[in-house]
Structure 1
Amino acid sequence: MHSTVLILDFGSQYTQLIARRIRATNVYCEIHPFDVDPQIIQDMAPIGIILSGGPASAFTENAPRAPQIVFELGVPVLGICYGMQAMADQLNGKVANALAREFGYAELMVEPCRLFENIQDRVNAGGQKILDVWMSHGDRVDALPPGFSIIAHNAATPIAAMADESRQFYGLQFHPEVTHTLQGCAILDRFVHDICQAGSDWNMPNYIDEAIGRIRARVGNERVILGLSGGVDSSVAAALIHRAIGDQLTCVFVDNGLLRQHEAKQVMETFSRNLAVNVIHIDARRQFLERLQGTSDPEQKRRIIGREFVEIFQQEAARIDDAKWLAQGTIYPDVIESAGSKTQKARTIKSHHNVGGLPDTLHLELLEPLRELFKDEVRELGLALGLPRDLVFRHPFPGPGLGVRILGEVKYEYAELLRQADAIFIEELKYSGWYEKTAQAFAVFLPVKSVGVMGDSRSYEYVIALRAVQTEDYMTAHWAELPYTLLAKISNRIINEVRGINRVVYDISGKPPATIEWE
Structure 2
Amino acid sequence: MNNLSIPRPVVILDFGSQLTQNIARRVRELGIYSEIHPFSTSIDQVKEKAPLAIILSGGPSSVFEQDAPSINPDLFKLGIPVLGICYGMQIMAKTLGGKVVPADIREYGVTGFYREKTISPLWTVFPDGDPVLMSHGDSIIDLPPGFSGAGHTKTTPYAAMENPKAKLFGVQFHPEVTQTRSGIKFIQTFLKDIAGIEPNWSLTGYIDRKVEEIRNSVKKDSLICALSGGIDSTVTALLCHRAVGKQFTAVYVDNGLMRAGETQSIVRDLQSLKLPLVVSHSSELFLKRLAGVKDPERKRKIIGRTFIHVFQKEAKQLGMPKYLAQGTLYPDVIESVSSKGSSSVIKSHHNVGGLPKRMPFSLVEPLRELFKDEVRIIGKELGLPDHFVHRQPFPGPGLAIRILGSITTDRIRMVREADRIVREELDGTDTGQSLWQYFAVLLPVHSVGVMGDQRTYENAIAVRTVTSVDGMTADIGEIPHNVLIRISHRIISEVRGINRVVHDISPKPPSTIEWE
How far the C-alpha of 1:457 sits from its partner, in A, is 2.9
2:515 aligns with one of 491, 515, 518: 518
- 1:40 positional shift: 6.2
Distance 1:320 1:43 in 2: 44
**Shift of the alpha carbon at 1:11?**
4.6
Residue equivalent to 1:336: 334
1:280 to 278, 281, 295: 278
Deviation at 1:243? Answer: 2.4
Q: Contact 2:112–2:154 (CA<8 Å) still a contact in 1?
A: no
Alpha-carbon shift at residue 322 of structure 1 (Å) = 6.3
Secondary structure of the residue that 1:424 maps to in structure 2? helix
- Tell me if 1:96 matches 2:121: no
CA distance in 1, matches of 2:155, 2:423: 47
Residues of 1 paired with 2:89 and 2:508: CA distance?
25
TM-score normalised to structure 2 length: 0.90
The answer to whether the Cα contact below 8 Å between 1:80 and 1:175 also exists between their aligned partners in 2 is: yes
Residues 1:347 and 1:156: Cα distance change in structure 2 (over 3 Å): closer
- State the AA in 2 paired with 1:339: V
1:294 equivalent in alignment to 2:319 = no
**Residue type matched to 1:170 in 2?**
F
SS of 1:261's equivalent in the other structure is coil
**CA displacement at 1:246 relative to structure 2:** 2.4
**Distance apart, 1:256 and its partner CA:** 0.7
Q: Does the C-alpha gap of structure 1 residues 163 and 343 become closer, same or farther in structure 2, counting only changes over 3 Å? A: closer
2:359 and 2:155 mapped to 1: Cα distance?
59
Which residue number corresponds to residue 12 of structure 2?
A: 7
Deviation at 1:87, TM superposition (A): 0.3
Alignment partner, residue 22 of structure 1: 27
Q: 1:199 deviation in Å?
A: 3.7
Paired residues, number: 508
1:71 maps onto 2:76 in alignment: yes
- Cα distance in structure 1, aligned partners of 2:367 and 2:465: 26
Partner of 1:105: 112
Matched-pair contact (CA < 8 Å) for 2:37–2:340: no
**Aligned ranges 1:32-43 → 2 under 5 Å:** 32-35=37-40, 41=46
Residue-by-residue CA offset, 1:290-333 (whole Å, 9 max, x unaligned): 11112111011111100011111112222213622100001112
* Aligned-residue offset at 1:277: 0.6
Residue 304 (structure 2) pairs with residue 306 (structure 1): yes
C-alpha distance in 1 between matches for 2:336 and 2:45:
19
**Runs of 5+ unmatched residues, structure 1:** 123-129
The superposition leaves residues 93-120 of structure 1 with CA deviations (integer Å, 9 ceiling, x where unpaired) of 222345676661132224343634xx34
Structure 1 stretch 54-63 or stretch 437-446: which is displaced more?
54-63
Say if 1:35 and 1:341, in contact at 8 Å, map to a contact too. no
Distance (whole Å) between structure 2 residues aligned to residue 291 and residue 102 of structure 1: 44
Q: C-alpha separation between the residues in 1 aligned to 2:404 and 2:466? A: 19
What is the alpha-carbon distance in structure 2 between the residues aligned to residue 161 and residue 293 of structure 1? 53
Contact 2:458 2:499 in 1 (8 A): yes
Q: Which of 462, 474, 485 is residue 477 of structure 1 equivalent to?
A: 474
Deviation at 1:258, TM superposition (A): 0.8
* AA at the equivalent of 2:214: I
Aligned equivalents of 1:133, 1:472: Cα separation in 2 = 18
In structure 2, runs of 5+ residues without a counterpart are 1-5
Offset at 1:468? 0.5
Which shifted more, 409-418 or 215-224? 215-224
Q: Which residue of 1 aligns with 2:210?
A: 211
Letter in 1 for 2:392: H
CA change 1:403–1:182 in 2 (3 A) is closer
**Pairing of 1:117-516 with structure 2 (within 5 A):** 119-121=124-126, 132-134=130-132, 136=134, 137=136, 139-152=138-151, 157-272=156-271, 274-321=272-319, 323-340=321-338, 346-355=343-352, 362-516=359-513
Give the conservation status (yes or no) of the 8 Å contact 1:495–1:502: yes
CA contact (8 A) 1:291 1:304 kept: yes
Shift of 1:76: 2.3
Question: What CA RMSD, in Å, does the superposition of the two structures yield over aligned residues?
Answer: 2.8
1:239-291 Cα distance to aligned partner (Å, 9 max, x none): 2222222222101101111111111111111111x111111011110101111
- Give identity over the alignment, percent: 50
Compute the displacement of 1:422 (Å): 0.6
Residue 376 of structure 1 deviates from its aligned partner by 0.7
Q: Which is further off, 314-323 or 220-229?
A: 314-323
Post-superposition Cα deviations, 1:101-147, rounded to whole Å, max 9, x if no partner, equal 6661132224343634xx3456xxxxxxx573526355433333234
Q: Which amino acid aligns with 1:22?
A: V
SS class of match (1:467)? strand
What CA deviation, in whole Å up to 9, does each residue of 1:189-231 have, x standing for no partner?
1222344444423322222222222222222232210011112
What secondary structure, in the 3-state scheme, does the structure 2 residue paired with 1:282 have? strand
40 and 417 in structure 1: CA distance in 2 versus 1, 3 angstrom threshold: farther
Question: Does the CA contact (< 8 Å) of 1:109 and 1:154 recur in 2?
Answer: no
Could you tell me how far 1:155 is from its partner in structure 2? 8.0
1:166-203: CA deviation from partner (whole Å, max 9, x where unpaired): 43221123332344544322221122234444442332
Amino acid at match of 2:205: N
